[in-house]
Amino acid sequence: MPFAVRIVSTSVEKEVVGVREAEAAPRSGPAHYIGGRFDREGTTFPLVNPVDGTVVGAVPEAGAGTVDRAVRAARDAVTGDWGRSTAEERGALLRRIADGIEDRFDEFVAAEVADTGKPVSLASTVDIPRAAANFRAYADLVWGRPERSFTSPTPDGAGALNYTVRRPLGVVAVVAPWNLPLLLLTWKVAPALAAGNAVVAKPSELTPSTATLLAEVMDTVGVPPGVFNLVHGFGEGSAGAMLTGHPGVDAVAFTGESATGTAIMRSVAERLAPVSFELGGKNPALVFADADFDAAVDGTVRSAFTNAGQVCLCTERVYVERAIFDDFVAALAERARALRVGRPEQDGTDMGPLVSAEHRDKVLDYYRLAEREGAKTHAGGAAPRFGDERDRGFFVEPTVLTGLAPDARAVREEIFGPVCHVAPFDDEVEAVRLANDSKYGLAATVWTSSLSRAHRVAPQLEAGIVWVNCWNLRDLRTPFGGVKASGIGREGGEHSLDFFSEPVNVCVKL
């Protein structure tokens, strides 16, 4: 029997099917969503506007009982009709979710900007469109996905037919970060649902709003109760640790800090639950003297300062061939000083605030540490002053540094802010050595006009993705992930579907 999709109308009172009116939630703030119902059970913590530091709302913190209810609701869904759904049915539902996001596009943009402080131009062209695209991409990928089959010999000569089918893992915990809240949440939720799993999601405590809007879309388009569940809270000692450590969770997909990934791995080790981790980065860019100079400067400005440097793929280490080093540093610093830092809704804003006071203080501490370690600051290095309420917000200046030793903490540790350190190199061998001299290995960028050099250098770099003469150019079908302390596994296209399902070989004696 196919699963039953709840077709609901926003014009009809939905208590008759046991579901709260979805339109009520955005007006009253973030809420849990468990088994098809919204609630705000638990004590609350403040939601803060990063632009001026004011408290703009309250978020319920899930306790152990709330998390347990969410996991049990997910288990009921995956062992019920949803677990017997077809790829065609799931694909159709994912397309409706994408449509639902687009129908409420302006609400999603406003919520993302309010939580993160990122420019409207960024949220409206990247975060929200990509969230809808994630659901459409996996709706297409899961339908008609081929599996292998082959015949093998048997002692009696009749042979056997072997073929592979895939089944969902079961209940999947999805823990998403605050820098790209909706994009990275849907990047995991979409393939998890496409593969037939039920999800319990926990967004960052700093950015809960678009996750709640996503739950409302799920509710409105008829996602069956328990298939998607949402709980709010913190990590250690709160909803995050309770969720990833819950014995009813069959797999964990997480994006965030490497230290948190380590803690999650410990929590799942006893039950051997599979994990997919996209973790930290200290990403290098290599700029060779034969590169298109202007393109390399433009690309490095983007890769260092997009979203105030709060992207796992951002460049924090820039290595430039000595012949063009001084000119490159001067040009990069000039561009950094010209970036417009301000209100996210203002036309022409290039960079908004950091996400929180704690994170602002961390980044400023690294600026001061770099200075103590001997850095020369060519641009930035402090918090801007506006002379208005924004001075109570969490802004920092885009910063360009030089002069640090390879073992300086500001060169080796992830800062996750709008900052890069630029150092010279003399030849290709040294460039590769410097780039690989890191415990991280998420992404790297190579700027050169030599096709031979590009193909020679890129495979030598210890990174999950290498861009040549571009940055953050993504095809959703390609593998994405890191090596070393930057992660475990790959996301994207069939790689995500492979993680969220397990192959079963069926052998039939002929």
Contacts with 293 (C-beta within 8 Å, 6 or more apart), sequence order = 324, 327, 328, 331
Catalytic residue among 61, 112, 312, 462: 312
458: three-class secondary structure by DSSP: helix
- Separation between Cα atoms, residue 226 and residue 453, nearest integer Å: 52
Instruction: Map out the domains of the chain with their CATH numbers.
Output: 30-279+487-509 (3.40.605.10), 283-475 (3.40.309.10)
- Separation between Cα atoms, residue 38 and residue 29, nearest integer Å: 11
- Of residues 6 and 372, the one with the higher pLDDT is 372
- Of residues 145 and 229, the one with the higher pLDDT is 229
- Of residues 21 and 158, the one with the higher pLDDT is 158
- Separation between Cα atoms, residue 107 and residue 89, nearest integer Å: 28
Average pLDDT over residues 330-347: 97
| pLDDT value of residue 23 | 35
| Alpha carbon 414 to its chain's center | 16
DSSP string, 349-382: --B---S-HHHHHHHHHHHHHHHHTTPEEEE--S
Evaluate if residue 12 carries a pLDDT over 50: no
| pLDDT value of residue 106 | 97
469, burial (CB in 10 Å: exposed 0-12, middle 13-18, buried 19+)? middle
- Residue 497: count of CB within 10 angstroms of its CB: 18
- Separation between Cα atoms, residue 419 and residue 399, nearest integer Å: 5
Average pLDDT over residues 469-486: 95
Residue type, 450: S
312 a catalytic residue? yes
pLDDT, one tens digit per residue, over 50-107 is 999 999 999 999 999 999 999 999 999 999 999 999 999 999 999 999 999 999 999 9
What are the phi and psi torsion angles at 266 (to 5°)? -60, -40
pLDDT, one tens digit per residue, over 131-190 is 999 999 999 999 878 888 999 999 999 999 999 999 999 999 999 999 999 999 999 999
Three-state SS across 308-320? Answer: HHCCCCCEEEEEE
Catalytic residue among 278, 397, 462, 491: 278
> In the chain, pLDDT over 70 holds for what percent of residues?
95
Model confidence at 19, pLDDT cuts 50, 70, 90, reads very low
| pLDDT value of residue 403 | 98
397 a catalytic residue? no
Evaluate if residue 498 carries a pLDDT over 60: yes
Evaluate if residue 24 carries a pLDDT over 60: no
Model confidence at 28, pLDDT cuts 50, 70, 90, reads low
Mean residue pLDDT of the chain comes to 93
pLDDT, one tens digit per residue, over 236-252 is 999 999 999 999 999 99
Give Cα separations from 226 to 31, 165, 176, 202, 501 (angstroms). 15, 25, 19, 14, 19
Evaluate if residue 34 carries a pLDDT over 90: yes
What pTM was estimated for this model as a whole?
0.92
- Of residues 26 and 366, the one with the higher pLDDT is 366
| pLDDT value of residue 22 | 34
Evaluate if residue 278 carries a pLDDT over 50: yes
